[in-house]
Structures are given as C-alpha cells and as structure tokens.
Structure 1
Amino acid sequence: MLKRIIFLVIVIVLLKPTYDFGSKLVSDVNVLLNENNINIQDATSEVLSNVSSTAKDTIVQTASTITAVDAKLPSSVETTEELAEAFYYHFSRWETDFEIRYDGSTTNIETIIETAVEEAANRDQYILGHLADRKIEFEYNQFGANIKVHQSYLTNAAQEEVVNEKVAAILATVDPASLTDFERVKFVNDYIVKNTEYSEETSASPHSAFAIVQENRGVCQGYALLALKMLQAFGVETKYVVGEVYTGGHAWNLVKVDGEWYHLDTTWNDPTPDRKNIVSYGYFLMNDEKMELDHSWIQSDYPSADSNKYAFMAQVDHAYEVDGMIYYSNVDDNNRLYRLDLNTGENTRLTDSRAQYIVGYSDWLYFSNYSHGGYLSKIKKDGTEESIIYKKEVNNLFVEDGSVYFNTDSGLKKIEL
C-alpha cells in the first residue's frame, strides 16, 4: 500500500534595517565671487564614457564564468548521503521541478528527506541564500519512495549565468596574485558599495545577487551573497551570516584575512541615502566584540572573530586610495583630512580642514572643504599648499580625463587639471 505525504519548507527572506550612518556635514553659506584664475566649465550635459574608479563603475559582460558546478547525479540513490547528492545536483542547476527515486528503508522517510535537503542546501551557502519556497511530495512503501520536488529560487539559471559573467568581468580588472587578503576584501567591499544603492524597488528579487549586478540595487541579502561569490572567486575564505539587528533579520559576511576571521557588512558600509561613490568602513573587518554591539547571530554556528587588527578602519570615510595610501575624512577627528600608510600603519593628519568627497590627480588631492562652506579645495598629498579653488559648495567629486568633476546647485561642473 502506497502512502502519500506533502510537506512545505519555506526559506525566510531577510530585510535590511534602516540605518542612518551619521549626519552629513553641510554649511549654509553665501556664494562668493570666484577669485581664482581657473576655468569652470558646465558639464551637466556631457556624456562620461569611461568613468574612473572614483565614480560609479559600469560592469562589462564577458563570456567567462567563475566556477563550474561539480555535482553529479547519482545513478542509484540508496542512502541519505546519496539523496543529499541528488538534491544538490538539482539545486546547483537551479531546477524548479524534479523527481528522485529513493531505494531503501523508509522507516524514517520524512527524517531522511529533511536531513538530505538540509545537507544539500548547506553544501553551498550561495545557493542556500537563494533558495525560496519548497514543496515536496512523496509516495512510498517499505522498500522505497518516489520523491517529487517543486523548488523556487530568488533567481534562475539564466540570471545566474549573468552573475557569473559579470563577476568574472569585475575581477578581471585586477590581478588577484598582486593583492593581499586585506586588499581583496577592500576591493570587493568598495566595488559593491560604489555600485549599489540600497533599495527594494527592483525588477528581480532585491534579495538576490543578480539584482545587485544587473540593476545596481538590492537589500542586505543581495549585498552579502554577491560579496560571498566575489570573495570566494578571489580565493578569500568567506561565510554568509544570517542574524538580527534592531529592525529584524539581516545578512552579512565573515571573511578570513591572513588566517583571522573578521565581520564584513557591505550593506552597512553603504551610506543611506546613497552617497554615490562614498564608501564607509564602519563595519569593515570587525571582531565579534564590536559587531555584537548592534548585530546578533548564533555564534556557535560560525567561526569566532577575535582580532582587533583592523579596528582603525572604522574611522575612515570618503576614502581615496592610491599607491598604498588611503586619504580619508577621519570621523573620529571631526572629519579632518588624514593619510594612512597601509604598509606601515602610520596615520597622519594632513590639515585641520574638514574634508569630504576626496579624489586625487597626480600629486594633488581635491575635496569639499567643510571648514570653508564646502568649497572646492586642493592640497598636495604631503599636506602642503592647501588652497580653495572654487568658492561654491560642491559634492560628489570624481576625476576623469584630466579634469575634476563636481556637482553644484547649478549642475555638474568641471575643471581641467
């Protein structure tokens, strides 16, 4: 006599908390006459064909993929382990409807199926993070069972191919062998933050990595899953973490840098509302002690993060990195302009001026000077020869083709350097 049983498994989709990274420093000032001998050009209608690394990046599609699924469909499914292998085979191909024949004792068939599903899902955290509603029906007798599965995902096989292609294109812009673990993690954090706006308003699921790479929008789950995929492709050991913050469910990553585990929350490193190319490092390579101040998770499920080596990164805002140096607005010192030597750890204040939207060209740094009304200023990288070059509040600076571009209340402007 055959018995028929149906059960459902639902994967809860996470929501990103509303998080105010802090007040933006803005001074209300009167516009003064420009006393500098420079040429200010209106760039509002100019088409920027090749955006620099300080501006929003355009992802180029390629025909390559990151990894090939190495699962194999067992020819005979007779144990829980083989059943898990069969489930993983179908999950890894993003298949929605499939059947599995199980030949073996069915005394604890429900437990066998549940164990196999859990083992298959946990085999790949990227796939696990994209699993959605699941319906399983099975007919069985004492000798075996016919198992029918309907599995839905936050994405599909075609979309995942796009993710693979775009991630390959992103990582192809750098040489992983030339980067340290720290630099690899920073590259991924910076790329995701610069190219993503936190939003639930997406065509694809905002919880998927696909929405992030295709629409440049998404929520914490998408941020963390894309970070997982990019970092693993970079050779950085990474975990996908599911936990809680004050507004509810949340997702982020654990990463191993030089043998030590650290927390990385790319979502909370992305200021809201979106600040274009500005990257925060308030949740970059944090230890458990700091992270648990506003995040909670089942710590026994994940490796411990005890190192405080990179705690200094929390003070970094509006960062511009070049030649092993980070020039940044120091949130612990009233947003004054600092220089951090990544090789020696030496940290130097360059000026008493409060700086935001920092960019560089040749020997010079350019920034919005909020000690002087947000005016466009420049200073040499050694901290000398500081001056105001445009007496009007500016923001969202970037450099391209020998010019510095900036927004004003009258539109996009540029100065040739």
Structure 2
Amino acid sequence: MKIKNIFKIMILAAFSLILTACTNETKNVQAKQDVSNKAITIKVPIVSNSGAVKLSYSENEIKSMFTSLHLEGASKDWSDNFSFENVKIEVPTGSYETKNKDTFINLDNAPVERIDLSKSSQIGLYFHEISVIYTNANIEHSALVERPIDVVLLNHYTGETEFFNLNTVDFNDEATTTWISQKLYEMNIAALQKDAIFEELAPIGSGDEPLEISREGYEHIVSNYKFDNNQRFDESYSSLEEFIDGKEGICNQFAYLYKLYLDYHEIENRLAFGNFKGIEGKVDHVWNEVKINGEWISVDTTGNGFGSGGTYENYFVSHYSSV
C-alpha cells in the first residue's frame, strides 16, 4: 500500500468521527391521527445504491413493528391477539410474496435518481417506500407512522448487501446522501487493502505517465478477463476476489476492478452509469472515466474500447470513491 493511500485512510478515519448524525440515538415516533378508518399504516422508507434489493420480514418482525408502537390516545387493546392475517403490504416499486408467514420483498422497479454532491460529483440512488397496514376492529383511530430511513448498500467489492438504519425521522436528504457517499468511499478503501486485490493490481502499471498507466491497466483486464453472459441476468453478485480468481464477470466487476487499479496509481477517475446508445430503459451498464491532461476519457474494460466516448447516452458519473 502506498504511503499516500495510508495517509488518506488516516484522514478518512478522522473524518468518519464527524458522522455522528448516524448514531444509536432514537426518537419517539409520533403518529398522525385520522378517524377515516380503523387501520394503522407504517411507512418504511428505503434508499439504496442498487436497483435490485431483496428484503425479508418474519411474522414476528412485522408484529413487532406494530406492538412496539406507543400511540398517543390509543388503548393497548388493538395490539392484543395480533393476527398476521390482518396485515396488508404495499410495494409501489416492486413486489412481494408471503410463504409460511414470512414476507419476501423484491424492490426492482424504481428509477435511479441522480443526486448532486457537488458541481462535479454525483451519486445514483434508488428510493423506495413500503407500506405495512394492519386493520383491527379494536383500533379506535387510524394512524400513519413514518419509520426512520433504512439504507441498503450493495458492496460492489465483496458482493454483500449491508443494511443500516439511520435512527431518525428527520434525517434530511442531503445528510443521508452525504452519509451514503462516505460509506461507499470506506468500502473502496477497505477493498484496496484486500490481499487478493492488491496482489492482482500492484504488478501492473510500470509506466510513468497517467495515460500510459491507464492503458496498461486496460490492456491487462481486457486480455485476461472474459465477460460472462450467464451472469448478466443472475440475481447473485460475485465479489471482486471471486472475479479475480475466475477471470469471468459482468460490467460491474470490470469497472470496479479497473477503478481500484486507477486509485492505486492515484489517477483521477470516476464511475459512469448508463446505457448504450439506442437502448432505452433502466440504467444497465457501468464503465469508467479517466482524467488525462485535464479531459475525461471513457474507458470500457468489458472490451468496448479505450476512449469509448460517444458510445453511451443517458448516463451520469460518480465521484464517490475517486482519489
């Protein structure tokens, strides 16, 4: 690991102490009362960096959502003899199914929202809201309860999904976005310290100029790695260590591996997300952009070229883990 990178990790550790907005502090949730019907609706806001999120709730977890509430002016009778049969779930940006009273939710139908972190930095996030509704004749007044934000982050380096609860209902959009951006940056730093990744990247890049080093990394990846069409529609996600070991993967793994290579050599870079020209619909491709002599050059290590600008449309860039 370069001394500069180690110094950056020390700075990151100090900066992370500032993020005290995401602590274990809890707040009493105030219910908005309404007498139009006898139901309690819990809104569960979810934000993610992935367009495909899978969640599951057991019967006890759903029951706890309601029985743990303390609604002002409401008697406790409504929560006695809780019945899962009286629960209804609404998922506007996805679907769900119930098996043996376990609920499985698939969030895969939200558009990506491009959030500006600064004039030159963006991040793509997906926003969802699940409604869990419980009806019971003993409920005196209907109530709408807004839960704290759940953050679901796909770690593109490990392939794992991580869950966080921000524990406050007034955590504003700007603070949430900044927190997510910082968390993704931490994942990037952690990946650079993985032995398998470090050993793969360190021997590459013997040139002196950013353009030469960038091309050498590009040539190494396109010569040694294959695009695996079988994984393209696979809902599982392989880690970069598995990608390095098997030498096959999809665009995400190609782009994130090349990104780590550029970060290791301290070459300014960013990820790009979008579509090939003429292909409409969801954002479904990831590639890289490298800053050479003050200009951003598109680089697609899946084999679409070094300097592949003009190939894409409807895309945005992300600085969240660049050097």
Task: Identify the TM-score tier after normalising by the shorter chain.
Answer: 0.3 to 0.5
TM-score w.r.t. structure 1 length?
0.35
TM-score w.r.t. structure 2 length?
0.43
Q: Which of these two proteins has the greater Rg computed from alpha carbons?
A: 1
Larger relative helix fraction: 2
